[in-house]
Amino acid sequence: MIIITAKAHPVLIETFEKKGFEVLYAPSITYEELLNKVEQATGLVVTTRIKIDKAIIDKAPKLQWIGRLGSGLELIDLKYAEEKNIRCISTPEGNRNAVAEHSLGLLLNLMNNICRSQAAVKQHLWLREENRGTELSGKTVGIVGFGNTGQAFAKLLLAFDVTILAYDKYKFGFGAGPVKEANFEQVCKYSDVISFHVPLTEETRYMADTAFFGSLKQKPYILNTSRGKVLKLADLVTALELGQVSGAALDVLENEIINDLNADEERIFHILNNRPDVILTPHIAGYSTEAFYLMSKVLLDKLDV
């Protein structure tokens, strides 16, 4: 049996069933429900909703593989899965272009005051001087994390005649043309834009914090379409108030259950939501119509189904 624990394109279910697999499509299944149903599973399909920990794995003696729709395997106990000979597969190829396009859209929106000026027009305010934009062309863009989404974002940026400073702790020798291999300090010092494209690990957790914002020299625009806890929101608020950054566009937050924020999270969310130099979107960067299909297709290809 294959259990699909999140919304997935019909091609995934249909293909598994055509190959003779029993499929339990349960996009709203809870952790506790999965714990009670996983015993017969030979495959699990997950996103970022449910943690696949030792308890789940121990309840699944037949489990052969765990497939992640999208990028990032931080919710899977990879070490324990490996000990149990369970194959873990991610599909960043499926939504990397969607994330890149969304990142570019956020950046152009932010730099050209599109949301801000639209809100003014809705109030019958025709504010041209107040909404004068800044061109992306000729700027320096720092990309933190040069994997699938970082590279896809860089590809789109090339049309704007920018210099790209790319930092990746685990990649070397990838610089070519306008893409310059850089260290983190150089990204912070020279970039007019800094975009995060890293998985959430102990190394990347809150890498955008007070120290990071204090090291910035060019008052850059900040983008985060990776994981919410890469960037500390309270520190971003301070950076905005101090003028250390020109604005921020975030597709991910530390706590994305916005109806269940604690008092401090609610205060920070309110501040960010009411700043004209901040754009927030609800974790949709990798969720385009095309990506919804491609993530399933890539998983099927990698499983050779």
| Residue 256 known to be catalytic | yes
Which of 22, 82, 241, 256 is catalytic? The answer is 256
Q: What is the DSSP string of 90-126?
A: E-HHHHHHHHHHHHHHHHHHHHTTHHHHHHHHHTT--
Mapped onto helix, strand or coil, the DSSP state of residue 139 is coil
Q: How far is Cα 296 from Cα 293, in angstroms, rounded to an integer?
A: 6
Return the closest-CA partner of residue 103 out of 134, 75, 142, 70. 142
Strands (E) located in 75-219: 87-90, 140-144, 163-167, 179-181, 193-196
Q: How far is Cα 50 from Cα 68, in angstroms, rounded to an integer?
A: 11
| Residue 275 known to be catalytic | no
Please list, in sequence order, all residues whose beta carbon lies within 8 angstroms of the beta carbon of residue 208, skipping any fewer than 6 positions away.
Answer: 196, 222, 224, 230, 231, 232, 235, 236
Query: Are 2 and 22 a contacting pair, CB within 8 Å?
Result: yes
Model confidence pLDDT, tens digit, residues 20-40: 999 999 999 999 999 999 999
Instruction: Report residue 163 as tokens.
Output: 């210099």
Which of 96, 102, 227, 254 is catalytic? The answer is 227
| Number of Cβ within a 10 Å radius of residue 183 | 11
Model confidence pLDDT, tens digit, residues 234-277: 999 999 999 999 999 999 999 999 999 999 999 999 999 999 99
* Orientation of helix 148-157 relative to helix 92-111, angle to 10°: 40
Q: Give residue 122's pLDDT.
A: 97
- Predicted model pTM: 0.94
Return the closest-CA partner of residue 107 out of 154, 45, 43, 145. 154
Return the closest-CA partner of residue 147 out of 74, 88, 71. 71
Q: Give residue 291's pLDDT.
A: 98
Domains of the chain: 2-90 (3.40.50.720), 94-280 (3.40.50.720)
Q: Give residue 72's pLDDT.
A: 87
* Orientation of helix 92-111 relative to helix 114-122, angle to 10°: 60
Q: Give residue 305's pLDDT.
A: 84
pLDDT in tens, the chain (305 residues): 999 999 999 999 999 999 999 999 999 999 999 999 999 999 999 998 899 999 999 999 999 999 999 988 999 999 999 999 999 999 999 999 999 999 999 999 999 999 999 999 999 999 999 999 999 999 999 999 999 999 999 999 999 999 999 999 999 999 989 999 999 999 999 999 999 999 999 999 999 999 999 999 999 999 999 999 999 999 999 999 999 999 999 999 999 999 999 999 999 999 999 999 999 999 999 999 999 999 999 999 999 98
| Residue 87 known to be catalytic | no
